[in-house]
Structure 1
Amino acid sequence: MRRPFAARAGALLAATLLVGAFAVPASAAEGDDGFTVKDPRITESSGLAASHQHPGIYWTHNDQDSGSYLYAVDSSTGETVARITLSGVGLQRDVEAIAIGPDNQIYVGDIGDNDGVTWPYVWIYRLPEPKKLTDQTIRATQYVVKYTDGSRDAESMIVHPRTGRVYIIDKHEDGGHLYEGPAKLSASGTNVFKPVATVDLWATDAAFSPDGTQLAVRGYFGGIQYDWNGGDLKREGRLDVPLQRQGESLSYSADGTKLMYGSEGTGSSVVAEDAPGGGSASKSPSGKGGSDTASDSSGFSAATGSVKFGALAVAVVVAVFFGFRRLLRRN
C-alpha cells in the first residue's frame, strides 16, 4: 500500500535526521581524525597505542586470540600493515592493554580477568617496537605481577613516557585505584604493584599524554582527565567520550593533540576527539580540561546531545503534523 506523500516525506525527514544524529562524522576516516579497523582478525580490540616510529600507525591486539599477536594498523586506511607474533611468553589469558614507553619499547598487559578466576598473578610483556613494519616474530620479556592487596581485574596499563615506570588501574564499578609498579621491572622475580591513588571511574583503559603531564582514563560511558602531578592525581575535568558498542581502548595521538577512542567488535571504529589542552582544544578559563560545554555523568556533551535529540524531536513533530493534516483532508 502506498503511503500518503506527506507521511512518507515526514518519515524520510525523521530517518535522515536520526541517521545524521548518530552517524560517525565524515572525518572519522582521516588518519588521526579517526578510522575504521578493517582486519577481520581483529574482533576484540582491547588496547590502542600510537607508534613512536611510524607516523599514523596504531598498535592494537585482541582480548583473547589464537596466539600472542600485535597488529599495526594504518590509520589512513584502517588496514593492518604488520602482525607481530610474540615469542618467549606463555599462553595468554586476557590481554587488555598496550602502551609504548621510553626507547620505543612496547608493553603489553595480560592483566584482565574476564572469567572471574582471580589469578594469583598476571603478566606484562615487553618488546622493542620494530623498525620495519612486516609480519615477523619478536622475542618478548615476560614479567610476573602481583598486587599488595590481592588479585584484581584490570584493563588499564600505562607506562610513563619519561621514567618508564609501569602503572595499572584496576576495574571496579564503584571506581578503582592507580597501582604503581617498581621503578624497574624484574624478569627474574615478582613485581609487586601497590595502590597509590584513587580513580573515580570504572576504567576500561588509560593513556599518558606524550609529555607525561596528563593522564586520561576512560570507561564505557565516560572519562576523566587528571593532571599527573608526579602520581598525586589532580582531577581536571571530564572527557567527551563517544558512544561506542563497547568502549575498550584509549590512546593519545603521537603529537598529543587528539584522544583516540576504540571499541571491540569486527570493523570497529576509532573515534578522535580533541585532547584537553592540546591542538584546538585549549583549557577553559577555569583551568579544567575538556570543552566549555557541560557534560553529564557519561561524559556525553550536553550541547551535542541537545542538538541531536532536538533535531529528532523536530522531525517527529513534522511527520505527525503533516500526517494528521493529510488524514483530515481524506476525512
Structure 2
Amino acid sequence: MGNFLRLLPRRGTRVKAPLRLPKLAFLPNTRIAVKLPLVVVGMAMLFGLGVGVAAYLISLQTVQEQREAALDAAVQAGYDQLTTYFREVETDVKLLARRSDTVNALEFFSYAATQDDLTGKSAQTLRQAYLADNPNDAANRFKLDSANRANNAYDIQHGRFHAVFRSLMLAHGYADVMLFDYAGTMVYSAAKRDDFALSAGPGGELERTGLGAAFKAAAASPEGIVKFIDFAAYEPVGGVAQSFIAAPVYKGPLVIGVLVFAVPADGLSLKLQGARGLGKTGEVLLVGMDGLLRSDSRFSEGNDVLATPLDLVAINAGAADDYRSMPLTASSVSFAFKGVKWQIAALQSTEEVFAPVTEMRN
C-alpha cells in the first residue's frame, strides 16, 4: 500500500501530458495508417538524397585530387626530362670544345679557308664548292665528304674531320655543328646550311641573329663556360626556330674560336610528347616568357614553336581557355637553363578530367 501511494503524484505536482504524434497537416483527410508509411518513405528519400549529394561531393574532391596529382606528376616528369636533355647538350659542347682534335680542326680550317683563294674571296669559293656545287639537296648537303678539289688544303681537312662532327650532329639530333674562327667567320659547318662561310663577327651577315649572339657571348667567355641563346626565328635558314649553345675553343691561354651547336625544337618536343597519365587529351608543353610555345603540340597539324600562344597567367592559375579551342585544366612549373627562363605546363581537357563526376551526376 505504501509503495502504491508513493507512485501517486503529490498534491501540487504537474502531471506530464501523454506523448502525442505531430499532426500531419499535408494530408488532413488521410488516415494515420496511410500517413505514417508516407512519412517513412519521405524521410528515406531525403536521406538517400543526402547520401547521393555527399557521395557526389566526395567524388568531386577525389577527382580534383587525382587530377592535380596526375598533372603535377607530368610536369615533374617534363622537368626531369628537360634537365637531363640540356645537361647532355651542355656536356657535349663543353667536352668537344676542349678536345685536341677540335682545336686542330679549327686551326686547320681557319688556315685553309684563308689560303683557299688568294684573291680574298675564300667565303665565296667555299660556298660554291660545298653549297652550290653540292650534288645533294639542301637537306642532305651534310653527306658530302669531299668537294673533289684535288690538292685543295680545305678539302683535305674537310675529308679528315667531317665524319666525326657529322656523326655527332646526327646521333644527338642537332641541326648543325659549327666552328668559328676568332674573327667570327664560320670556317666549318657539318650541315652545310645556307649560312655556311658567313660571318657572325662585327658587321657580319649573322651578327644580329641568335647565332651571332651565341658567338659573341662565347668568344668573350673563359674556358669551360657555356652560353645559350633562346629559340628565335633564324632567317638564314628560312626562319625556322633555332636555339644555339656555344663554348669557346682555347689553345693554351688563348681563345682561338668558338664551337656552336644549333639546337632545334624537335628534340624538346619529342621528349615532352612522351608524357604519360594525362588521358587522351593531355600533353606537356614548354612555354617562353613571351607566351609563345617552345615545343610542338602533338594535337596540331602545323608547327607551334614560336607561333602558338599560351596564356601564362591562366596556366599559372590552373586553367587555359585560349588554346585548342577547349577549356583545359593546367599545372605548371618554372624551368631555366643558362639564364633563359621558361614554363613547363601540363594540360588536359577539363571535360575529360571531370568525366567520372559528370557520369555520376547524370
> Does the alignment reach a TM-score above 0.5?
no
Higher strand share: 1
TM-score, normalised to structure 1, is: 0.25
More RCO (CA 8 Å, sep 6+): 1
